[in-house]
């Protein structure tokens, strides 16, 4: 992922820390001294303060731009590099922001000013892939799709499939407990992580969990680290569960007049004992955007698009049953006869985000609601768009109750307008009102932090902060993020 950057060319004081006491180091000098401590602690070529390198590693994909810049970027290649960075960071009180591929959507990997970016993209080895144990042991910088591809060569697969799987890392997926399209059947990242190797804030390496499918010795620290957004320790290795590749997959595309009708059909699938591997919904605005971008004529079949996949030994039989359920509710149902047809049906879903990105700058929200409230949530999101005058397009992982209202901002706007942020805030409030969450799979990061105490309750929030202090007593790990 990351080419090793050149050794920093910034001047290095030859004896940092022994400057005469009489002349207190100013802020610039202090930063130089701090940066030097990292340079010295790491092997040659694994530290950079080059402004271009720093700028290339200080943001994620949330659109959020922190004030100030980090000191530099550490490019870890091995566990010892991570330990070295954390030991210096603790000793000097320097904030550490851990980074995988930088695909986060909540600002969790947007670097703290004056801190260090700890880039794990170079720790990208699949250390082991065991067919007998149905596990892989990976470094955090492995691209998720690469792990899945390696597993498939061995007849297995890695089930979690965030939409970013082709570009995001396992470490980032673990940090946010990433979801994806197949969660309703196969669970989120948490359900596929058996154990972790973690460097604690003080540099000590621990292991959590195990290589077994089951195990209840002690508290579930693995689950605590998954989704902790870089605030409890640095994941330097993961033992993940692999599953058999489904024996077959069948894809159905159904077109409806309304979101409510499509959601009703998804509910009816469950009532019929059908467990779809995928149930992706595009609302009417999104369907029209896809048509406009690709020249397709989806909207002629029905305004709302629902993609359903069944998989496993019973994929065909389950698809028969699903087709029957959908047919009584949809205007049209199409079924893949082969891989090529399936690809055509999938194309609309795949095209959705690129189609919206053509229209302007996108802010991707990520609420989840109880499944029975999905239609209501989608309708209310549309109302919020109308009331605030903001363009909102909605995709949903329909079987999970997870909606992605996507706010599209006119590219002519110099910055994200106030009404877009206002719409986002109303969407968060809606999620909580409906008994849901402000983030189903993207994480809290910076953008949803203000809502966290409201969602959690003040005592639970306080307990979580105390847990954070157990793991990071000096507060160097991703300060100002998540909690």
Applying the rule CB under 8 A, the residues between 68 and 97 that interact with a copy of itself are none
SS3 101: coil
* Residue 466 engages a copy of itself in binding (rule: CB under 8 A): yes
Residue 264 backbone dihedrals phi, psi, to 5 degrees: -60, -40
> Toward a copy of itself, which CB reaches closer, 115 or 180?
180
Q: Which of 313, 358, 413, 415 lies at the binding interface for a copy of itself (CB under 8 A)?
A: 313
> Toward a copy of itself, which CB reaches closer, 390 or 476?
476
Q: Which of 10, 25, 224, 416 lies at the binding interface for a copy of itself (CB under 8 A)?
A: 224
Site for a copy of itself (CB under 8 A): how many residues?
A: 98
Residue of 168, 180, 122 lying closest to 404 (CA atoms): 180
- Say which DSSP state 445 is in: T
Contacting range for a copy of itself; rule: CB under 8 A; set: 4-12, 49-57, 293-301, 439-447? 439-447
* 229-288 positions binding a copy of itself, by CB under 8 A: 232, 243-247, 267, 270-275
Q: Which of 86, 147, 342, 438 lies at the binding interface for a copy of itself (CB under 8 A)?
A: 438
> Toward a copy of itself, which CB reaches closer, 221 or 289?
221
- Max intra-chain CA distance, the chain: 84
* Residue 212 engages a copy of itself in binding (rule: CB under 8 A): yes
Least CB distance to a copy of itself at residue 202 (A): 10
DSSP states of 271-330: HTT---SEEEEE-HHHHHHHHHHH---HHHH-SEEEEEEEESTTHHHHHHHHHHHHHTT-
Distance between CA 328 and CA 265 in Å, rounded? 9
> Toward a copy of itself, which CB reaches closer, 221 or 381?
221
Least CB distance to a copy of itself at residue 100 (A): 16
Least CB distance to a copy of itself at residue 267 (A): 6
* Residue 450 engages a copy of itself in binding (rule: CB under 8 A): no
Q: How far is CA 395 from CA 267, 307, 351, in A?
A: 17, 11, 12
Mark residue 279 as left, alpha or beta (left: phi above 0; alpha: psi -120 to 50; beta: remaining).
Answer: beta
Q: Which of 226, 384, 395, 398 lies at the binding interface for a copy of itself (CB under 8 A)?
A: 226
* Residue 21 engages a copy of itself in binding (rule: CB under 8 A): no
Distance between CA 470 and CA 477 in Å, rounded? 12
**What track of x and - describes contact with a copy of itself for positions 109 through 138 (by CB under 8 A)?**
---------------------xxxxxx---
* Residue 14 engages a copy of itself in binding (rule: CB under 8 A): no
Distance of CA 162 to the CA centre of its chain: 7
Q: Which of 169, 402, 426, 478 lies at the binding interface for a copy of itself (CB under 8 A)?
A: 402
Distance between CA 297 and CA 251 in Å, rounded? 19
Q: Counting Cβ atoms within 10 Å, is residue 400 exposed (0-12), middle (13-18) or buried (19+)?
A: buried
* Residue 218 engages a copy of itself in binding (rule: CB under 8 A): yes
User: Are the C-beta atoms of residues 391 and 359 closer than 8 Å to each other?
Assistant: yes
Q: Which of 368, 382, 427, 477 lies at the binding interface for a copy of itself (CB under 8 A)?
A: 368
User: Are the C-beta atoms of residues 160 and 178 closer than 8 Å to each other?
Assistant: yes
DSSP states of 182-214: SHHHH--GGGGEEEEEEE-TTS-EEEEE-SSS-
* Residue 152 engages a copy of itself in binding (rule: CB under 8 A): no
Q: Which of 144, 164, 168, 177 lies at the binding interface for a copy of itself (CB under 8 A)?
A: 177
* Residue 23 engages a copy of itself in binding (rule: CB under 8 A): no
Query: What is the CA angle 54-6-4, rounded to 5?
Result: 80
* 321-360 positions binding a copy of itself, by CB under 8 A: 321
Least CB distance to a copy of itself at residue 105 (A): 12
């Amino acid at each position: 992922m990351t080419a090793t950057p050149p050794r920093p060319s910034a001047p290095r004081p030859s004896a940092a820390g022994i400057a005469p006491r009489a002349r207190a180091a100013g802020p610039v000098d202090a930063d130089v001294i701090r940066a030097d401590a990292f340079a010295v602690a790491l092997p040659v070529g694994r530290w950079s303060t080059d402004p271009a390198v720093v700028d290339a590693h200080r943001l994620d994909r949330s659109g959020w731009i922190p004030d100030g810049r980090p000191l530099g970027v550490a490019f870890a290649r091995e566990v010892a590099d991570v330990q070295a960075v954390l030991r210096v960071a603790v000793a000097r009180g320097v904030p550490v922001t851990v980074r995988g591929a930088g695909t986060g959507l909540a600002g969790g990997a947007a670097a703290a000013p004056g801190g260090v970016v700890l880039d794990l993209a170079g720790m990208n080895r699949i250390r082991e892939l065991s067919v007998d144990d149905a596990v892989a042991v990976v470094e955090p910088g492995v691209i998720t799709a690469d792990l899945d591809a390696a597993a498939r060569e061995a007849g297995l697969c890695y089930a979690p499939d965030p939409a970013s799987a082709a570009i995001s890392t396992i470490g980032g997926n673990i940090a946010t407990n990433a979801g994806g399209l197949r969660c309703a059947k196969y669970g989120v990242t948490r359900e596929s992580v058996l154990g972790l190797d973690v460097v604690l804030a003080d540099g000590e390496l621990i292991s959590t969990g195990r290589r077994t499918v089951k195990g209840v010795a002690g508290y579930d620290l693995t689950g605590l680290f998954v989704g902790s957004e870089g605030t409890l320790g640095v994941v330097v290795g993961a033992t993940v569960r692999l599953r058999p590749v489904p024996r077959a997959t069948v894809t159905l595309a159904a077109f409806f007049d309304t979101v409510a009708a499509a959601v009703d059909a998804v509910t009816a699938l469950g009532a019929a004992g059908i467990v779809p591997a995928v149930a992706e919904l595009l609302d009417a605005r999104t369907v029209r955007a896809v048509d406009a971008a690709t020249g397709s004529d989806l909207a002629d079949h029905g305004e709302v698009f629902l993609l359903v996949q069944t998989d496993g030994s019973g994929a065909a039989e389950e698809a028969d049953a699903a087709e029957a359920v959908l047919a009584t509710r949809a205007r049209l149902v199409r079924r893949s006869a082969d891989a090529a047809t399936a690809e055509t049906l999938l194309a609309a879903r795949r095209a959705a985000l690129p189609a919206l990105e053509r229209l302007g700058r996108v802010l991707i929200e990520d609420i989840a609601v109880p499944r029975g409230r999905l239609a209501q949530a989608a309708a209310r999101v549309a109302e919020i768009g109308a009331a605030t005058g903001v363009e909102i397009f909605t995709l949903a992982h329909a079987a999970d109750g997870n909606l992605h209202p996507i706010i599209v901002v006119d590219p002519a706007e110099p910055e994200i307008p106030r009404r877009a942020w206002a719409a986002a805030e109303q969407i968060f409030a809606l999620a909580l009102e409906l008994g849901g969450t402000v983030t189903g799979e993207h994480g809290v990061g910076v953008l949803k932090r203000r809502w966290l105490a409201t969602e959690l309750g003040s005592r639970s929030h306080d307990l979580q902060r105390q847990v954070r202090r157990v793991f990071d007593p000096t507060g160097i790990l991703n300060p100002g993020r998540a909690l």
